[in-house]
């Protein structure tokens, strides 16, 4: 029997926890104190342990060391982006299988991501550390604005600032004070943004699918609007056969294979983002977790693959165990999602038969659609953007840190 310690400082991964339990694992949960009474799938969890959000590594090790006296922990799973480094630290502490802090850094630290990708020959936006004044000035002399000032350790678009002119640069840097070494500066690259969601088994990608955002997430975060992403049709989701060069997904699948090999992800899931611009495919960021914003639901609608469930199956199988993908579906799917003025938006007028999921979350309106016809999915999403904007859309300032 496998015992798995799930680390989650946000309410995430319920399907992962349930699948681990279904497979016969003993599931232990380590979460932060404020989530002790959250709606976890308690029927699937043997024990819940809590730590303060401000707990130090030494504090966390003491808590986990106490748990490990009574349970032989075989796996550690970090369920959210902010937990990846803690999970890696605990694997090293307990000496259990899975990646440690060096690999975790490649998937969490945006400066390390760019440095490692550059070493691997993967195109990235021009970037610099912002630790040294002279280095920043030299870089700004060479690279024309606009620029993007990014926190190295945040997820998605949280905390990102656009620096439109040279005159805005130093006030922006001074405004972050002592936190400045934890940021990077990079050239803003215009273009369509895509994401690749993948499953990796024994250092080989066994499943990946490409999706295209309607508008770049940074624009949605800063300007508001309706979030849209839709899957692209790829010739072979498992890459067991070559893709046609004309396939829109092909360059992103190829780039993602190079990236995950260079970053040494051996087993797990990944959500990676790329931009398609004048110079081809450019890497933006990656993560060793399931994508948020209902992306996993969109992937499941299109392919039949639930990334949370498959990740759980990978973890319980372990490095030497048996793992096989479920049978794949090859439909198209997408989501339209926005903040809503209403606490419980009325989606009943939306009656298209392609709707497979209605988002039930306070002050959110969202629909996921599926069809064998990609053009039908695109047309529905375009219509929902217009209708949501009239019926529901609310805006609020971009958070400095994700709230869920």
Averaged over successive runs of 10 residues, the pLDDT of the chain (404 residues) comes to: 95 96 98 95 97 94 97 97 95 97 96 96 96 97 96 76 95 94 95 96 94 90 89 65 62 95 96 89 95 94 96 93 90 96 96 96 96 96 96 73 50
Q: What gap in Å lies between CA 156 and CA 265, rounded to an integer?
A: 20
Give 393's Cβ-side CA count (13 Å radius).
15
Predicted local distance difference test score (pLDDT) of residue 239:
55
Question: What is the pLDDT at residue 246?
Answer: 46
Other CB atoms within 10 Å distance of the CB of residue 365 = 27
pLDDT of residue 310: 97
pLDDT at 242: 47
Answer yes or no: are the C-beta atoms of 318 and 365 closer than 8 Å: no
Q: Where are the alpha helices (DSSP H) in 176-318?
A: 217-223, 250-263, 295-303, 307-317
Q: Is 98 left (phi over 0), alpha (psi -120 to 50) or beta?
A: left
pLDDT of residue 395: 76
Domains of the chain: 3-96 (3.40.50.20), 126-187 (3.30.1490.20), 192-391 (3.30.470.20)
User: Percentages helix, strand, coil for the chain, rounded to the nearest 5?
Assistant: 35, 25, 40
pLDDT of residue 159: 79
How many C-beta atoms surround the C-beta of residue 15 within 10 A?
18
Q: Which pTM does this prediction carry? A: 0.92
Q: What is the DSSP letter of 325?
A: P
**CA dist., res. 367 & res. 384, Å (int):** 8
């Amino acid at each position: 029997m496998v015992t798995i310690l799930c680390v989650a400082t946000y309410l995430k991964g319920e399907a992962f926890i349930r699948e681990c339990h279904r497979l016969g694992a003993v599931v232990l949960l380590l979460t932060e104190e404020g989530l002790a009474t959250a709606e976890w799938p308690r029927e699937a969890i043997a024990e819940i342990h809590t730590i303060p959000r401000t707990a130090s590594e030494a504090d966390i090790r003491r808590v986990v060391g106490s748990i490990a006296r009574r349970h032989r922990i075989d796996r550690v799973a970090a369920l959210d982006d902010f937990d990846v480094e803690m999970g890696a630290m605990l694997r090293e502490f307990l000496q259990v299988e899975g990646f440690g802090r060096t690999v975790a850094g490649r998937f969490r630290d945006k400066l390390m991501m760019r440095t490692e990708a550059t070493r691997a020959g993967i195109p990235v936006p021009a970037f610099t550390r912002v630790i040294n004044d002279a280095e920043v000035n030299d870089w700004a002399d060479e690279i024309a604005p606009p620029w993007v000032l990014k926190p190295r350790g945040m997820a998605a678009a949280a905390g990102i600032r656009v620096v439109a002119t040279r005159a805005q640069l130093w006030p922006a840097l001074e405004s972050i004070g002592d936190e400045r070494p934890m940021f990077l500066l990079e050239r803003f690259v215009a273009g369509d943004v895509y994401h690749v969601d993948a499953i990796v088994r024994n250092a080989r990608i066994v499943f990946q699918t490409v999706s295209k955002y309607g508008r770049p997430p940074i624009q949605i975060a800063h300007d508001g609007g309706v979030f849209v992403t839709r899957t692209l049709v790829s010739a072979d989701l498992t890459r067991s056969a070559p893709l046609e060069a004309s396939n829109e997904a092909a360059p992103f699948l190829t780039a993602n294979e190079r990236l995950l090999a260079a970053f040494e992800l051996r087993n797990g899931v990944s959500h990676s983002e790329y931009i398609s611009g004048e110079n081809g495919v450019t890497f933006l960021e990656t993560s060793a977790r399931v994508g948020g914003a209902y992306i996993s639901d969109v992937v499941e609608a299109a392919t039949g693959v639930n990334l949370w469930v498959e990740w759980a199956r990978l973890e319980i199988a372990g490095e030497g165990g048996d793992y096989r993908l479920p049978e794949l579906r090859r439909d198209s799917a997408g989501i339209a999602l926005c903040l809503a003025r209403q606490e419980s938006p009325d989606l009943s007028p939306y009656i298209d038969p392609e709707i497979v999921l209605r988002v039930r979350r306070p002050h959110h309106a969202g629909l996921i659609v599926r069809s064998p016809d990609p053009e039908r999915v695109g047309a529905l999403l375009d219509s929902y953007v217009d209708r949501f904007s009239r019926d529901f859309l609310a805006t609020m300032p971009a958070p400095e840190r994700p709230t869920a």
